[in-house]
Amino acid sequence: MNYDMLILRFGEITIKGKNRTRFENTALNHVRRLLAAFPEPIVRKEYGRIYVELHGVDPALIVPKLQNVFGINSICLVKRADTDLEQIQAIALGFMTEVMAAQGDRTVTFKVSARRVWKPFPHGSQDMNHLVGSPILRAFPALKVDVNHPEINLHIEIRQDGTYMYHEIVTAVGGFPLGSNGKAMLLLSGGIDSPVAGWSALRRGLEIECVHFHSYPFTSERAQQKVLDLAQVLAGFAGKIKVHMVPFTEIQTKFTQVGHDNLIITLMRRSMLRIATKLAEQHRAMALVTGDSLGQVASQTLGSMNVIGKATDIPMLRPLVMMDKNEIIEISKNIGTYDLSILPFEDCCTLFVPKNPSTNPNLRMVENIEAYIEGLDEMILEAVRNTETVVLQDGLDADTEAEAKGSIPEHEAENTPANSIVKESSKELEDSWF
């Protein structure tokens, strides 16, 4: 099919006024970024929708990209006519000729849904249904009118500056425009779940930065690269993503020495949350996001989540908490993280997995063990201090900004090459936590 234009329609943004404009502009920028490699299409926002004039570009090349724009619910593939009865009739007939060519001889149900948005146009919506529909029905005996459930519903939108016709509407990802709901820290492991949790957070309009805990040299550099590769996929949705790589070896080793093997995972998770919370403060993120799914493993029972969650005082968002593994896997395949996630590199948590991890740890006992471990608070601060930050771009942006030092506001950051590793500096945080 030969189309002139796409109409991108927003989803559930019910907010009015200034914020609505901000939300819409965020999605508009996202569309512009995704189409930066295509010089032809003209993107504009009007009447609370986004229009993409194709100028010869095959929609099959760009629609799959645009389906990923957060905040967009559907995309209509449009033919345009001047707002003039004869031209509308002629183009609608030509449009249906193309549609019917693909249908063979079978009977196809059909209706016209005209909408006169521009009131000075001399024919009302009902009239237009007949004026456009009759010549089409005469031309194609295989068409049968069905006003309730037509296979082809030819929409005709009559506006002053042009009339838009479409019958193909593809669904898009929906949610809220990127970053329109604030920022959160994603705890990103190399597994299947946390990248899906990250994507879910992005779709909900959260900007995310990632925190990954590694136990180098017990875990390999390739294991770290796997996490960066996963974050790179997320950057494809977000444009840019920072990944904070936290050295966790020392803390983890300490936990293996306290003689409570069944609590190692609980202790590790609590320290991860403490470190992630400090990084969240430092980078002005207001929540933590994890890939926890209720009951999946010992650390994800209600009892464990309670004791682990007490280690932070900022909201813990668990987008996957009620989802089945199959649903999570399906999303991970759709967003392109699954094949990376199943690569067999070890994670820090798989290194010292105890035989019988506690499914119902006792908070008092866990706190006592933590208090007993000499220097744990200092080790946590040290891990934050030694965190390295990698900035990943999705490869579409021309500029290669990267963050310089942890607590410097973004606009003051020095420019460094994309995907560079930058040492965190966070001395000023030492006093603020413990």
Instruction: Give the binding range for ligand ATP (CB under 6 A) out of 53-61, 190-198, 388-396, 412-420.
Output: 190-198
As given in the structure block, the two tokens for residue 114 are 């005209």
Q: For residue 187, say whether it is annotated as part of any ligand binding site.
A: yes
351 is in an annotated binding site: no
Q: Which does 192 bind (CB under 5 to 8 A by kind): Mg ion, ligand ATP, none?
A: ligand ATP
Number of residues that bind ligand ATP (CB under 6 A): 20
Closest distance to ligand ATP from the beta carbon of 224 (Å): 10
Q: How far is the CB of 26 from ligand ATP (least distance, A)?
A: 26
> Quick one: which of 82, 78, 60, 95 has its CA closest to 166?
78
Question: Shortest CA distance to 309 belongs to which of 330, 322, 294?
Answer: 294
Q: Is there a contact between 361 and 303 (Cβ–Cβ < 8 Å)?
A: yes
Told to check if 192 binds ligand ATP by CB under 6 A, we report yes
The answer to the question of whether 213 is labelled as a binding residue is: yes
* CB of 46 closer than 8 Å to CB of 132: no
Tell which positions 252-311 bind ligand ATP, by CB under 6 A.
290-292, 296-297, 299-300
From the list ligand ATP, Mg ion, none, pick the one residue 228 interacts with, judged by a Cβ distance below 5 to 8 Å according to partner type: none
Residues 170-189, interacting with ligand ATP (CB under 6 A)? 187-189
Q: Is 188 known to sit in a ligand binding site?
A: yes
Residue selected from 193, 207, 229, 281 as contacting ligand ATP according to rule CB under 6 A: 193
Does the annotation place 406 within a ligand binding site? no
Q: Phi and psi dihedrals of 55, rounded to 5?
A: 45, 50
- Residue in the shown chain whose Cβ atom is closest to Mg ion: 191
Per the DSSP assignment, residues forming a β-bridge with 164 are 80, 157
128 and 138 in contact (C-beta within 8 Å)?
A: no
**Nearer CB in complex with ligand ATP: 90/353:** 353
**CA–CA distance from 356 to each of 302, 309, 359 (Å)?**
17, 21, 9
CB of 388 to Mg ion, least distance (A): 21
Does position 198 bind Mg ion by CB under 5 A?
Answer: no
292 binds, among Mg ion, ligand ATP, none (CB under 5 to 8 A by kind): ligand ATP
Q: Which does 373 bind (CB under 5 to 8 A by kind): Mg ion, ligand ATP, none?
A: none
| d(C-alpha 95, C-alpha 80), whole Å | 10
Q: How far apart are CA 54 and CA 78, in angstroms?
A: 10
Q: Mind giving me the DSSP string for 67-126? A: TT-TTEEEEEEEEEE-S-HHHHHHHHHHHHHHHHHTTTTS-EEEEEEEEE-STTSSS-HH
The distance of closest approach from Cβ of residue 254 to Mg ion in the complex, given in angstroms and rounded to an integer, is: 20
Please say whether the beta carbons of 371 and 363 come within 8 A: no
Give kind and range of the element (H or E) at residue 173.
none
Nearest approach, Cβ of residue 297 and ligand ATP (Å): 5
Name the DSSP class of 414.
P
Bin 323: left if φ > 0, else alpha if -120 < ψ < 50, else beta: beta
Near ligand ATP in 340-379, by CB under 6 A:
347-349
> Could you tell me the smallest distance in angstroms from the CB atom of residue 31 to ligand ATP?
30
Instruction: Give the one residue of 83, 89, 163, 194 binding ligand ATP; rule: CB under 6 A.
Output: 194
Contact status, residue 397 vs residue 415, Cβ threshold 8 Å: no
Task: Find the shortest distance in angstroms from Cβ 283 to ligand ATP.
Answer: 15
Q: Is 232 in the site for ligand ATP (CB under 6 A)?
A: no
What binding mask, one character per residue, do residues 155-194 give for Mg ion by CB under 5 A, x or -? ----------------------------------x-x---
> Shortest approach of ligand ATP to residue 286 CB, angstroms?
17
Q: Which residues contact 314 (CB under 8 A, 6 or more apart)?
A: 277, 280, 286, 287, 288
DSSP character for 413? P
177 binds, among ligand ATP, Mg ion, none (CB under 5 to 8 A by kind): none
Q: By the 8 A CB rule, do 5 and 54 touch? A: yes
Please, what is the minimum distance in Å from the beta carbon of residue 331 to Mg ion?
16
Inter-residue contact 3 to 79 (CB < 8 Å): yes
Binding-site residue ranges for ATP: 187-188, 212-213, 269, 291, 300
Binding-site residue ranges: 187-188, 212-213, 269, 291, 300
Using CB under 6 A, list all residues that contact ligand ATP.
Answer: 187-189, 191-194, 211-213, 290-292, 296-297, 299-300, 347-349
Using CB under 5 A, list all residues that contact Mg ion.
Answer: 189, 191
